[in-house]
Amino acid sequence: MNRSEPDISNKVSVRRVERYRDDQLLQAVSEMYTAAGGPDPKGKKILLKPNILADVPPERAVTTHPSVFRAVAYYLLERGALVLAGDSPAIHNPLFAAKGCGIQQVCRELKIPWIDFIEDSFSCKGFRLAGILKEVDYVFSLAKCKTHEFAYYTGAVKNLFGLIPGFSKAMMHAKYPNRQVFAAMVVDLLNIVKPDFAVMDAVIAMEGAGPQNGQPRHLGLLLASTNSVALDVSMAQIIGYDPLDIPILANALQRGIQLKDIGDIILEGGVLKDFRVKNFKRIAIERKYNFVYMGVRFEQLRRRFDRRPVFDHDRCILCQKCVQMCKAEALKVRDGKITIHDPNCIRCYCCHEVCPVSAIDIKRKVFG
């Protein structure tokens, strides 16, 4: 990639936007882009990377809302940018077009080309990445505020994982089998991609068993920054997390990637305590077992104490998306049911992530 280094500041802009109204969103995006020091878009080719984990209706709060996508795209187009868009969901096939989540319709309305990340990819420092990254001037992460069973929280930084096309993402989970090494890998990806701007859709967030099977939660917030780590740190604090408990953010801070100290963040648009959300349903932090990778036998022992996928066979529709996603080969169909071979399970929770009917719970089950 030949893109120039983005101009990173520690400023995070916040606005209250109570509903997905186009006029309110466009005004907020315009104000935040200026306040946060967004790069001059005139004449630039810009890739918008929304979070489309699964192509489901926007009211489920799984994806970046199409109205937020529209506001950002319209703002950039009006200022002379050439806007492109793309994503690679967990289960990516050649027919994927972001129709169910509403983003395809926005792309058609605004004549924005949709880029299939699988069609063209390249290798870079151990990653398989969407080829469009070599062609654009700027990359914008349009994230959705959600809980995440594996990462605890997913935002602007984790959203970049979708730049890895198709099932290559599942292979990365198998290669980096616990939270700490996976977090380091995601921060490596951040350091390679170097996104130029990030917008956080937290008008309706997801709490509980995210990133797909949680519950929508109204927060009425929109955040933006040239600094994806600072934005995620701020959002994590708003929903009640200590950012140092989020492995991706802790790793970025430890390494000084985009941000060295939480205290360096400058919040524009209000005071952090005024935005904090009470009783947000977060994923419980596993404090005892988040060790660094120390070999296969140690991992197998550690996993006995981790929460594990537990299947509700009455709810399961046997779509087998979980089986497709599991590169650890822990899942099989036997006697009309999905079964799990526990020694193979790496506790990445990708099966839970892609289940469309909430048939997989993540529970503590040490034996059996």
CATH number of the domain within which 58 lies: 3.40.50.11440
| Domain span including residue 353 | 296-364
pLDDT in tens, 265-277: 999 999 999 999 9
pLDDT given at position 303 = 62
User: What global pTM score does this model have?
Assistant: 0.92
Q: Is 101 part of a structural domain of the chain? A: yes
Rounded CA gap, 51 and 229, in Å?
Answer: 16
pLDDT given at position 367 = 46
Rounded CA gap, 155 and 91, in Å?
Answer: 19
Lowest pLDDT segment from 95-109, 186-200, 286-300: 286-300
Which of 195, 296, 219 has the alpha carbon at shortest distance from 14?
219
Instruction: Tell me which of 275, 310, 345 is where a domain ends.
Output: 275
pLDDT in tens, 275-334: 999 999 999 998 655 445 555 555 556 666 678 899 989 999 999 988 988 888 889 999
* pLDDT at residue 100 is higher than 90: yes
CA dihedral 101, 103, 109, 114 (to 10 degrees): -130
pLDDT given at position 267 = 98
- The helix/strand/coil state of 315 is coil
Rounded CA gap, 176 and 18, in Å?
Answer: 39
Residues 82 and 225 in one domain: yes
AA letter at 235: M
Burial of 243: CB neighbours in 10 Å, binned 0-12, 13-18, 19+: buried
AA letter at 53: L
Structure tokens at 251: 């790793």
Q: Percent of the chain having pLDDT more than 90? A: 73
Which of 204, 220, 325 has the alpha carbon at shortest distance from 276?
220
Residues 221 and 345 in one domain: no
Please, what is the average pLDDT of the chain? 92
CATH number of the domain within which 334 lies: 3.30.70.20
Q: In the chain, how many domains are there?
A: 2
* pLDDT at residue 366 is higher than 70: no
* pLDDT at residue 205 is higher than 50: yes
Q: Is 196 part of a structural domain of the chain? A: yes
Residues 221 and 331 in one domain: no
pLDDT given at position 30 = 98
Structure tokens at 174: 């198998």
- Show the beta-strand stretches assigned E in the chain: 11-16, 45-50, 82-86, 114-115, 121-124, 127-130, 138-148, 152-154, 197-207, 215-225, 266-268, 307-311, 331-334, 337-340, 360-364
Contacts of 209 (CB under 8 A, 6+ apart): 147, 149, 283, 352, 358, 361, 362
* pLDDT at residue 1 is higher than 90: no
**Cβ–Cβ under 8 Å, residues 317 and 359:** yes
Residues 154 and 301 in one domain: no
Residues 234 and 335 in one domain: no
Residues 42 and 130 in one domain: yes
Q: Is 286 part of a structural domain of the chain? A: no
Q: Is 31 part of a structural domain of the chain? A: yes
* pLDDT at residue 106 is higher than 90: yes
Residues 53 and 124 in one domain: yes
Q: Is 41 part of a structural domain of the chain? A: yes
Residues 207 and 253 in one domain: yes
Residues 81 and 130 in one domain: yes
Instruction: Tell me which of 275, 310, 328 is where a domain ends.
Output: 275
- The helix/strand/coil state of 21 is coil
The region that residue 52 occupies, defined by phi over 0 for left and psi between -120 and 50 for alpha, beta otherwise, is beta
**Sign of torsion over alpha carbons 318, 322, 327, 332:** negative
* pLDDT at residue 348 is higher than 80: yes
pLDDT in tens, 121-179: 999 999 999 999 999 999 999 999 999 999 999 999 999 999 999 888 989 998 998 89
